[in-house]
Copies of this chain bind each other. A is one copy, B any other.
Amino acid sequence: MEIITGGVTAAKGFWAAGVEAGIKYQNRKDMAMVYSKTPCRAAGVFTTNVVKAAPVLWDKEVVESEWEAQAIVVNSGIANACTGKLGYEYCRETAGAAADALEISPQSVLICSTGVIGMQLPMEKMTEGVRMLAKAIKPGEEVGTDAAKAIMTTDTRNKQVAVKVTIGGKEVTIGGMCKGSGMIHPNMCTMLAFVTTDVNISKKLLQEALSADVQDTFNMVSVDGDTSTNDTLLVLANGQAGNHEITEKGADYDTFVEALHYVNETLAKKIAGDGEGATALFEVKVIHADNKEDAKTLAKSVITSSLTKAALFGHDANWGRILCALGYSGAKFDPEAIELYLESSAGKILIFKDGMAADYSEEEATRILSCSEVTALVDMKMGEAEATAWGCDLTYDYVKINADYRS
């Protein structure tokens, strides 16, 4: 697997654009389009929130149908959630406008929105934005970055990744972009993420690969424990790599899954590290757990603990809070048996063993916790299962951003 530059436009036949449509933000790109010159097999995973945004309902229909998808239209600023029947009608209108401009069918247009809940979209601006996007789309990294910037809300940086693998003698590319920041605690997938690939694969296997992989990637990320109404992860595969179609599991499928996993995990970590107000990426690795489910539960419990997150912000090795979060996770274990390490580019130290503090230096612990990526390694000493979760620290800026997000 080769890691390359580029995002959603890295794979063959994928074009993109980002434009200023003035939906809610001023003086920045706020609408994006991803377009494949040929129809794609589409797979998707969506929020499990009972309150689903209108575009989530629209996209589920498209992805679960036999239709092939060819375009994704995204706006930032307004989430089109809690907007009633009118909100859904606006999705249909947006898809219709894109279909007209691109000369494709409305059922092949996927729609995503992110931003404030409860406001209606300004439809004139939306349809004008779609028209601008249809004119602006082209191949290349530059427009991929435009699109990645246009979907941001409180994100501080755009998030892209791409890799190349060889499948059936053909070069296959997978690229992706996503946005995260706040209201991030995906329960099927994260806020908005888009993966494009030129692989030739059956729709059934594409969905299966995606559904399985999100469990270990996007679903292991949390910024604030709030599962959004808009979480959407879409994968488009247009088959232009020319490999023999992957229709069953085997070496080709495994190669694709491995590359997809790298793309998903990289995007997921980018979301965690750029959580609202975050100054550090916080990784929690649980090893030697009794079973996979417990390993995931334990890891997620620690990355969602407000107290642990605030201590990380303060570079304070308050490991008792990590123990506490493991303890209330719901998983059973013997606190006397486990070991806890803290690790970063500044070093690695044993913090807790035999039910009490290990003999470590506070100074060294603070040095380790002052890095921009910090890992807590928990050895459960029980079995062979492991899991990793990603979060971030809890900061003044998280409160500031969210105390008055709408204005």
The chain A residues found within 8 Å of chain B, CB to CB, are 47-52, 79, 81-87, 116-118, 182-183, 185, 187, 224-229, 304-307, 310-311, 313-314, 316, 318-321, 323-329, 331-333, 335-336, 352, 354-357, 394-396, 398-407
Contact A50 B118, beta carbon cutoff 8 Å:
no
CA separation between A151 and B310, bound complex, in Å? 24
Contact A335 B51, beta carbon cutoff 8 Å:
yes
CA separation between A188 and B331, bound complex, in Å? 17
Contact A81 B320, beta carbon cutoff 8 Å:
yes
Contact A355 B49, beta carbon cutoff 8 Å:
no
Partner of A407, one of B310, B316, B394, B399: B316
Question: What is the count of identical protomers in the complex?
Answer: 2
Contact A323 B51, beta carbon cutoff 8 Å:
yes
Q: Offer 20 A-B interface pairs, CB within 8 angstroms, sorted by A.
A: A48-B328, A49-B324, A50-B326, A51-B324, A51-B327, A82-B320, A84-B356, A116-B320, A117-B321, A118-B319, A118-B320, A118-B357, A183-B307, A183-B324, A224-B306, A225-B304, A228-B324, A394-B399, A396-B400, A398-B399
Q: Tell me the minimal C-beta distance from A357 to chain B in angstroms.
A: 5
Residues of B within 8 A of A227 (CB): 324, 327-328
CA separation between A224 and B85, bound complex, in Å? 36
- Chain B: CB-nearest residue to A224: B306
Residues of B within 8 A of A84 (CB): 336, 354-356
Contact A229 B50, beta carbon cutoff 8 Å:
no
CA separation between A363 and B303, bound complex, in Å? 37
Residues of B within 8 A of A85 (CB): 355
- Chain B: CB-nearest residue to A307: B226
The 9 closest A-B pairs by CB, nearest first: A117-B320, A314-B403, A51-B327, A310-B402, A227-B328, A49-B327, A84-B355, A84-B356, A314-B404
Q: Tell me the minimal C-beta distance from A312 to chain B in angstroms.
A: 9
Residues of B within 8 A of A310 (CB): 398-399, 401-403
New A-B contacts (20) at CB < 8 Å, excluding given A225-B225, A229-B327:
A48-B328, A51-B324, A51-B335, A79-B320, A82-B320, A82-B323, A82-B352, A84-B356, A85-B355, A116-B318, A117-B318, A225-B304, A229-B323, A229-B324, A311-B402, A311-B405, A314-B405, A318-B405, A395-B399, A399-B399
Partner of A49, one of B52, B82, B328, B406: B328
CA separation between A355 and B53, bound complex, in Å? 11
Residues of B within 8 A of A398 (CB): 306, 310, 399
Question: Which residue, A81, A307, A314, has most C-beta atoms of chain B within 10 A?
Answer: A307
Residues of B within 8 A of A87 (CB): 356
CA separation between A60 and B118, bound complex, in Å? 49
Contact A326 B51, beta carbon cutoff 8 Å:
yes
CA separation between A355 and B314, bound complex, in Å? 41
- Chain B: CB-nearest residue to A403: B314
